[in-house]
Structure 1
Amino acid sequence: MQSVFQGKSFLAEKDFTKDELLYFIDFAAHLKALKQKGIAHQYLKGKNIALLFEKTSTRTRAAFTVAANDLGAHPEFLGANDIQLGTKESTIDTAKVLGSMFDGIEFRGFAQETVETLAQYAGVPVWNGLTDLWHPTQMIADFLTIKEHFGKIAGLNLAYCGDGRNNMANSLLVTGAILGLNVRIVSPKALFPNPEIIALAKSFAKTSGSELVITDDIDQGVLKANIIYTDVWVSMGEESQFAERIELLKPYQVNQAMLEKTQNLDQFIFLHCLPAFHDTQTTYGQKIAELYGLTEMEVTDEVFQGKYAKQFQQAENRMHAIKAIMAATLGNLFIPKV
């Protein structure tokens, strides 16, 4: 039978069942093994892929480009200065035009509504490379990394420490709830997740048995954590809030003392979706140091360079995850039903 994913868009984790998400994770692991063995897997040979980027990117752009090439497709990058999206041309019109020329469309930008409109009118699969609300391709990579280390996902404890209202917190809370991972959002009360996101995650947790905790108590939040996950304190478009965020989030910096609080370092990894501000080796880091006196932000260099840190394996897995998503939704895969 043809894949149930054929022709389907990949817009948010909440749109997929536990088994479907596990399929993407396992398929990504399979494609990773094929690449490591040098075995060709050109499921998208001859296809053309549009890569729309309202927001800049390193990992997402690189991952989609390499994944498309490995699959035999031809990626075309269209940055913010290359497209008229929402300025001179409506999202609906853009979707219809690009959908008539390309076989699949990736979008990375601000509004979730934009990627959903593209999917509604393009007539081809659309993949969410990140919006302000969700980061679903990152989730497949993250849970692949977790499964590679622990051999399982359900029943593990993940503590996300930082801004509980951003797309990473949303995605981790909901995806974890679907997959049976216990998720703690460890954040100041002012940055707790949106109540609607919490309610959505709880609805999935009723089925999966996932335990969800939203707390500002660091000791409670990280105790027995198998994974501590963090992200930048200020997301793209929120730079004016730097001083406020630093004041709120300094206590939630992931450092060696926090790792010790898990009391679980024999079964533990650290994850970060990157980029990370762990030193002053960037102009951005130098600016923060000059303005606020901080040489490290959401994670210390000691942790980032330490033995528990798996963020670069996690970054590589973005490519394998994205490859699995594109192949499953556009590759006319034959998947027999047992």
Structure 2
Amino acid sequence: MLRGRDLLSLMEFKPDEVIMLLEMSKSLKARYHAGEIIVPIHAGKTAILIFEKPSTRTRVSTSVAAYQLGMNVIVTSAQELQLGRGETVADTARTLSRYVHVIAARVYSHSSLEELAQYADVPVINLLSDKFHPLQALADALTLWEKKGKLSGLKVAFVGDVGNNVAASLAVIGSKLGWEVRLIGPRQLWRNDISKLSDDADKTGASIYQSDSLEDVKGVDAVYTDVWVSMGFEKEAEERVRLLRPYQVDGRVMSLAGPQALFMHCLPAHRGQEVTDDVIDGPRSVVWDQAENRLHTAKAALAALTP
């Protein structure tokens, strides 16, 4: 069982545990669409959601997910807590553990989550950090499972800022599920932590590699991109846009990938930068399915981890 476990990156979960979360997500989604909106698995329990960064999909989907599990939901920012006046993360974690059953947080620094998890007596769930975005990766995997009819053996190309948190989590979940993940972007942004995924990749048959050639989108099941200037990198915006301009996902890139390739984006999108309108609004785009699946995977994570 997963009850009581933290979810910080998905690296801490075994492949069969990731599959368990996805199967639960699929089941809860089916129940939702059958009209079973409230599944009171955790009736009367309380979840606190802490947001250091602005959010649309994560904030709303996780709030709704907790509510639909029968939970009381507290949504707050660091500024509304004593964190904003200098209380330590450790003291905040100890205090909140006396009040709530699960803590979920969207933070600037992944180290803040690690400290929360170290000192909290209840599970801590990563709603996004500078290093990982695990709930997004679960939603991505659920979407591909629905569209391609399988969980393993998929080929996915992430094009653009291959050093960001979404690319990292895509590589992590790909290593758990036996995918071929192609991280395609400028060498200046290549990752130096790919080797950490080798143990899972050896077990599942996954392949995670980096390239600076758009030719490597050929034959993939999906082309994925994200914004070029993530929150916290605004000072580097001009340089990042210059560096990443050749990696815009447009009709040419999708044609190169092939007619079987879906288009994916975690949103929000900066239309005209990382993706063109004809692609994101086109018939192969599954971005709204990804967005919906944030609800069902958040619900599964809360259901499975909350004690």
Partner of residue 197 from structure 2, selected from 201, 225, 239: 201
Matched, 1:23 2:20: yes
1:310 maps to which residue? 286
Moved over 6 A (4+): none
RMSD, aligned CA:
1.1
Query: What SS class does the counterpart of residue 79 from structure 2 fall into?
Result: coil
CA distance in 2, matches of 1:16, 1:50: 23
1:146 maps to which residue? 144
Alignment check: 8 A CA contact 2:156 2:180 kept: yes
Letter of the 1:273 counterpart: C
Alignment check: 8 A CA contact 2:78 2:84 kept: no
Query: What SS class does the counterpart of residue 105 from structure 1 fall into?
Result: strand
Matched, 1:14 2:20: no
Residues 95-153 of structure 1: CA distance to partner in whole angstroms, max 9, x if unpaired? 01111111111010111111121122110111100000111111111100000001112
Of structures 1 and 2, the larger Rg is shown by: 1
Partner of residue 173 from structure 1, selected from 162, 171, 174: 171
Residues 35-73 of structure 1: CA distance to partner in whole angstroms, max 9, x if unpaired? 111224110100111111111100110011100110000
CA distance in 2, matches of 1:301, 1:80: 35
2:183 maps to which residue? 185
CA distance in 2, matches of 1:32, 1:204: 28
CA distance in 2, matches of 1:96, 1:158: 40
Letter of the 2:227 counterpart: V
Query: What SS class does the counterpart of residue 299 from structure 1 fall into?
Result: coil
2:267 maps to which residue? 274
Q: How many residues align?
A: 306
Cα deviation for residue 9 of structure 1 reads: 1.3
CA distance in 2, matches of 1:254, 1:96: 45
2:221 maps to which residue? 226
Letter of the 1:248 counterpart: L
Alignment check: 8 A CA contact 1:228 1:270 kept: yes
Matched, 1:235 2:230: yes
Alignment check: 8 A CA contact 2:138 2:173 kept: no
Partner of residue 258 from structure 1, selected from 232, 250, 253: 253
CA distance in 2, matches of 1:244, 1:204: 35
2:122 maps to which residue? 124
List runs of 5+ in structure 1 lacking aligned partners. 279-295, 332-338
CA distance in 2, matches of 1:327, 1:156: 27
Cα deviation for residue 86 of structure 1 reads: 6.8
CA distance in 2, matches of 1:212, 1:177: 7
Percent identical pairs in the alignment equals 40
**Normalization by structure 2: what TM-score?**
0.97
1:290 maps to which residue? none
Letter of the 2:254 counterpart: L
2:212 maps to which residue? 216
